[in-house]
Amino acid sequence: MGCSDEPLSMNLLNFSGWLAVGDVTVPGLTPQESAALILLAASLLVFRAFRERYLLIWTLGWLAYFVSRWTLGQHAAGAVPVYLIAISHAEFVLAMCLFAAAIFVYTNARGLLLPLLLITLTVMSFAVVRVWFWPESITLRVALEVAYRLVAITAALRLIRYRWARWELGPWMLSLSLMLMHLAWPPLTSHLPIGSNLLVSMAAGLSMLLLVFDDYKLHMRRLGVVNALTTSITRAQHHGPIMATALEELKGLMRAKAAWFRLLEGDRMVIAQQIGLSAGFVQDRQSVPMDDDFERTLSANAPVVVLTSAAVRLLSTANLPT
């Protein structure tokens, strides 16, 4: 059993490459507005393909971001009314919080959504009140800048922590670009290189696409593992080949150096199958007690991941070879 989404993946990759090197200017819109509109369209395309909830929130974030730029872009040649500046700032804050909400949903941190909602309403209200009543206050402007950046930093740290074990470019690129997105503030932004905000916006959109494609690749690898296990089960007459196949596929999926499986015999756990372990490790830890601190196998009904650094430290304390 199998399926192929190669045409869709190639179309999305070609579209991403066009975003990176092509002309992103839409007639009647500024480059930043054009980039936001194109990334909004790309997000809709990816959401339609993968149907992930976090992608819908991410798309709404790009919509809010585009509207925040478009609100001020229509008065770029002259004086901008105060109420439009207030609306634009509130929309930008909403966009940043929607981006953070998408990351929280993606990283299974749904408990942070309610606090984020309260923070969003508070910061949006503060942004409007500040522009309307105290537009020249440096202190309040700094407070606004710090507020939405704290949201971005929290989301970035959550994403990096969630994807820490998978060394991929997408999460780091998305985290950095999210923290670099900002409101226009002439005392600071006037010193930035021309087009830097456009590049940051493009990097944020493209990094999310990389994140989606990386997850799609991992999903296909998992399907490959399930298929290999199913084939092994249907052909095997004993449990030995099944466990060997399962360990081989698990080791490759997790990019681990070794994997092993223990069976409970009396009050001890004995290695029944292993792949990648050294002869010294197998000899000294062939049988361990059920409350072994190193593996903690019976503490949860799930595989245990042992980091090499922690293993070396623990085994050296116990005077065992690594």
**What is the side-by-side order of every strand in the sheet holding 259-265?**
259-265, 268-275, 287-289
If one compares 61 and 271, the residue with the highest pLDDT of the two is 61
- Which H or E element spans position 295? none
Is residue 273 a contact partner of residue 239, using CB atoms and an 8 Å limit? no
What is the percent of the chain with per-residue pLDDT over 70, rounded to a whole number?
67
Is residue 39 a contact partner of residue 201, using CB atoms and an 8 Å limit? yes
Which pLDDT score is estimated for 258?
A: 80
Distance, CA of 59 to CA of 46 (rounded, Å): 9
Q: Which residues contact 81 (CB under 8 A, 6 or more apart)?
A: 75
Cα dist from 263 to 109, 179, 260, 267, 304, whole Å = 35, 48, 10, 11, 14
Which pLDDT score is estimated for 197?
A: 77
Whose CA is closest to 22, among 42, 6, 5, 8? 42
Q: Hey, which of 33-37, 66-70, 153-157, 196-200 has the most confident mean pLDDT?
A: 153-157
Angle subtended by helix axes 169-180 and 138-162, to nearest 10: 170
Q: Tell me the pLDDT band of 253, cut-offs 50, 70 and 90.
A: low
Q: Tell me the pLDDT tens digit for each residue of 153-205.
A: 999 999 998 888 677 788 898 899 989 888 887 777 666 677 677 788 888 88
Q: Tell me the pLDDT band of 20, cut-offs 50, 70 and 90.
A: very low
Whose CA is closest to 168, among 207, 202, 205? 207
Cα dist from 62 to 177, 219, 294, whole Å = 14, 26, 46
Q: Which residues contact 8 (CB under 8 A, 6 or more apart)?
A: 49
Residue spans of the domains in the chain: they are: 6-219, 239-317
Query: Is the model's pLDDT at 21 over the cut of 50?
Result: no
Question: Which of 15-29, 96-110, 121-135, 141-155 is predicted least confidently?
Answer: 15-29
Which segments of the chain does DSSP mark as H helices, in order?
6-21, 31-50, 53-73, 82-106, 113-133, 138-162, 169-180, 186-189, 196-235, 239-254, 279-284, 308-317
- CB-neighbour burial class of residue 10 (10 A; exposed 0-12, middle 13-18, buried 19+): exposed
